[in-house]
Amino acid sequence: MTDVIEQVAAAPLGAAAGSPAIETVNLSKRFGRTSALAGLSMTVPRGEVFGFLGPNGAGKTTAVKLLLGLLKPTSGEAWLLGRPIGDLQTRRRIGYLPELFRYQGWLSAREVLALHCELAPLPRSSWKDEITSALETVGLTERAEDRVSTFSKGMQQRLGLAAALLGEPELVFLDEPTSALDPVGRHDVREIIRGLASRGTAVFLNSHLLSEVEQVCDRVAVVDHGRVIASGTMDELLSGTAVKVRVTGLDDAEKARLASFGNIDDEGDQLTFTNLKPDRVPELVAEIVGLGGNVFEVSPRHQTLEDRFLQLLEEEEK
Amino acid sequence: MPPTLVIARLTVQETSRRRLILALIILTLIVVGFSAWGFRKITTVTNSSGSTLPPEQVALITSQLLIVVTFMYSGVLALSAAVVAGPLISSEVESGLLLSILARPVRRSEVVIGKWLGLGVLVAIYAAGSAFLEIAAVDWATGYVPPHPIQLVLYVGAEGLALLSLGLLLSTRLSGITGGVIALVAWLMGWIGGVVGDVGTGLQNQAVENVGVFSHLILPTDLLWRGAIYAMEPDAFLATLRAAGTVGRANPFAAVDPPPLPFLAWVVVWFGLMLALSIWSFRTREI
């Protein structure tokens, strides 16, 4: 078996300055018979916030680990900031918050960040400012001297985010960055991501929290069973309209007869028809009434990322 | 500071902050205190005629007891090295702690060597410190000093390093508990293999003697322990052992000769192989 990481690319750093932040060509990973990622091909330009969506086990974290050189691809190629994945020098310019975030409990928050400054490696003269700024950004200034073992899960995730921000990286991987955070923390993370984007840092956001992705991402890719099933800008992805209908008196067989109006997200008395054009709404209502249903509310609205996501997954399963 | 030394420093810092070093220091001081008191008793104990023991008999008894006490120290060192090294990498892989470190410009070989170095420094300091304290205590209590104290420290320290190297190798693939247990069992099996080899020597049976040779080749901890014993044996005792012929060699707490030079050269190669295997194993592991 060959080395999982650690390549030394021949090209100088400057040669890759105009290259995309991330580029993959048929990147695949198998674990035994299981395909964790199947032929991922994508390009993430510099300065873009890219959302990587998918249900649990879809292959999102596998993709991030492959890109960071923590896993070895079964086939395919990928480049970060213009250099092959696994290149040690490129890692100086990358920040990473793992999904499984854990830091040395016997160190203080400041010491953990100093460790990452040292490993990055950043000039020692910049450590103090870098650490102070990162702690302030994630709201941990007051706890800087406390041992990490005394931190809540959310605070540890904030610390991980601070570590990922050190040294003004050109590309930041955030793997489920708000999984342990409260609503205030989630809002803070969105602000941090916007801040990164405004200074030209590319962000690869791995998440299954769709509203979060919808609010901050320029483009998204939806992955399921290791394959990208849709990708594009938010406008490209969310071009349809969803219609929510509050209705009673329909059994499952009658609901099934409404399938011609589009994919149905059935939540009992509430049916959401994804990707249904507004001009077909009267026809839909007439059909429901004809089936004996009692209509209490009909509300057409623009498709949300969640609507589109569920629609894509349903189409994928058919 | 190069990543290897950063990881080594972090390893020392962790054991220190987790109070392992403090616990070992306190335990060692207690053992040294008790053993000093015990050794002192040898000089005051009387024989059947009611008189205290002559100096040469005090030296002989002290040397033998010192071997037993040192066996305990080497055991503590080996156990500690195996138990600490067992989860050294695996626990950090399982917890995710290494993910953020390996995403930095850090080679996996630097992580392995750094951890080996950090723990190796602690093993060396413990071996030297505890040996110095114990020898000083015995010298104070009885006036006896083993003939080769420097070699004693080197052999005991190398035994600890051997267990550390084995534990670290196992830690690159197995969970901490599994790796630690395997390292401990291997250490005991190595000791038993050495004893079986002694029996072969006593019986002048080459096949049985080879069991000891092979076990020393696979895991040289028992061989190193024999070196430590040799470093503690006074000349008079050695002469008695040699006079006893092959029977004198069939004793797990005695050594007639120091470990042969080719064997010591093999130990150096063995350390290199273990480190190389650990690096290869960790570099090819997907985390």
Residues B74/B159, Cβ–Cβ less than 8 Å? yes
Question: What pLDDT is stored for residue B10 in this prediction?
Answer: 95
CB contacts < 8 Å between A and B, how many?
A: 85
ipTM for the complex shown = 0.84
pLDDT digits (tens, 9 = 90+) for B194-213: 889 888 888 888 899 899 89
Question: What pLDDT is stored for residue B48 in this prediction?
Answer: 79
Question: What pLDDT is stored for residue B218 in this prediction?
Answer: 93
Q: Which residue of A has its CA nearest to B1?
A: A118
CA-CA distance, B182 to A313, in Å (whole number)?
A: 47
| Cis geometry, peptide bond prior to residue A121 (ω within 30 degrees of 0) | yes
Q: Which residue of B has its CA nearest to A69?
A: B103
pLDDT digits (tens, 9 = 90+) for B61-96: 898 899 999 998 888 888 888 888 888 899 999 888
| Nearest neighbour of A6 by CB, restricted to B1, B103, B108 | B108
Task: Verify whether the Cβ–Cβ distance B106 to A120 is below 8 Å.
Answer: no
Q: Phi and psi for A174 in degrees, rounded to 5? A: -120, 110
Question: What pLDDT is stored for residue A318 in this prediction?
Answer: 64
Q: Which residue of A has its CA nearest to B285?
A: A4
A173 chain-B contacts, CB cut-off 8 A: 103
> Cβ contacts of residue B22 below 8 Å, gap of 6+?
B16
| Nearest neighbour of B14 by CB, restricted to A106, A116, A121 | A106
Q: Which residue of A has its CA nearest to B105?
A: A88
Contacting A with CB below 8 Å, chain B residues are 1, 3, 6, 10, 13-14, 17-18, 95-97, 99-108, 283-287
Question: What pLDDT is stored for residue A12 in this prediction?
Answer: 40
B287 chain-A contacts, CB cut-off 8 A: 65, 70-71
Q: Phi and psi for A60 in degrees, rounded to 5? A: -65, -50
Interface residue of A102, A173, A175 to substitute, partner B, most B CBs within 10 Å:
A102
Closest Cα in chain B, distance from residue A120 (Å): 6
Closest Cα in chain B, distance from residue A299 (Å): 45
H or E stretch at B192: helix B176-203
Mean of all residue pLDDT scores within chain A: 85
Task: Verify whether the Cβ–Cβ distance A4 to B108 is below 8 Å.
Answer: yes
Mean of all residue pLDDT scores within chain B: 90
From first to last of its 287 residues, chain B has per-residue pLDDT tens of 899 999 999 999 998 888 888 888 898 999 999 999 998 888 888 877 878 888 888 888 898 899 999 998 888 888 888 888 888 899 999 888 999 999 999 999 999 999 999 999 999 999 999 999 999 999 999 888 999 999 999 999 999 999 999 999 999 999 988 998 899 899 999 999 988 988 888 888 889 989 989 999 999 999 999 999 999 988 888 888 888 777 667 777 888 888 999 999 999 999 999 999 999 999 998 88
pTM (2 decimals)? 0.83
Domain ranges of chain B: 3-283
| Nearest neighbour of A98 by CB, restricted to B96, B106, B283 | B96
Task: Verify whether the Cβ–Cβ distance A102 to B97 is below 8 Å.
Answer: yes
Total residues belonging to chain A = 318
Please give the domain boundaries of chain A with CATH numbers for all domains. Answer: 13-235 (3.40.50.300), 240-302 (3.30.70.1150)
Task: Verify whether the Cβ–Cβ distance A116 to B97 is below 8 Å.
Answer: no
**DSSP string across A188-232:** HHHHHHHHHHHTT-EEEEEES-HHHHHHH-SEEEEEETTEEEEEE
Residue A11, pLDDT > 70, answer no
Measured CA angle at A247 (ends A243, A248), to 5 deg: 160
| Nearest neighbour of B284 by CB, restricted to A3, A116, A173 | A3
Closest Cα in chain A, distance from residue B176 (Å): 17
pLDDT digits (tens, 9 = 90+) for A131-171: 999 999 999 999 999 999 999 999 999 999 999 999 999 99
Closest Cα in chain A, distance from residue B4 (Å): 10
Task: Verify whether the Cβ–Cβ distance B104 to A65 is below 8 Å.
Answer: no
Question: What pLDDT is stored for residue A79 in this prediction?
Answer: 94
Q: Is A35 exposed, middle or buried, given 0-12, 13-18 or 19+ CB atoms closer than 10 A?
A: middle
Task: Verify whether the Cβ–Cβ distance B6 to A115 is below 8 Å.
Answer: yes
H or E stretch at A51: strand A49-53
Task: Verify whether the Cβ–Cβ distance A92 to B14 is below 8 Å.
Answer: no
CA-CA distance, A183 to A193, in Å (whole number)?
A: 15
Measured CA angle at A190 (ends A213, A126), to 5 deg: 130
In order of A190, B229, B255, the CA distances from B238 in angstroms are 76, 11, 8
Residue B163: which of B186, B196, B139 has the closest Cα? B186
pLDDT-derived band of residue A303, with 50, 70 and 90 as boundaries?
A: low
pLDDT digits (tens, 9 = 90+) for A74-132: 999 999 999 999 899 999 999 999 988 889 999 999 999 999 999 999 999 999 999 99
Residue A99: which of A132, A68, A144, A141 has the closest Cα? A68
pLDDT-derived band of residue A16, with 50, 70 and 90 as boundaries?
A: low
Task: Verify whether the Cβ–Cβ distance A5 to B10 is below 8 Å.
Answer: no
Extract the tokens encoding B141: 């209590």
Task: Verify whether the Cβ–Cβ distance A119 to B105 is below 8 Å.
Answer: yes
Closest Cα in chain A, distance from residue B122 (Å): 18
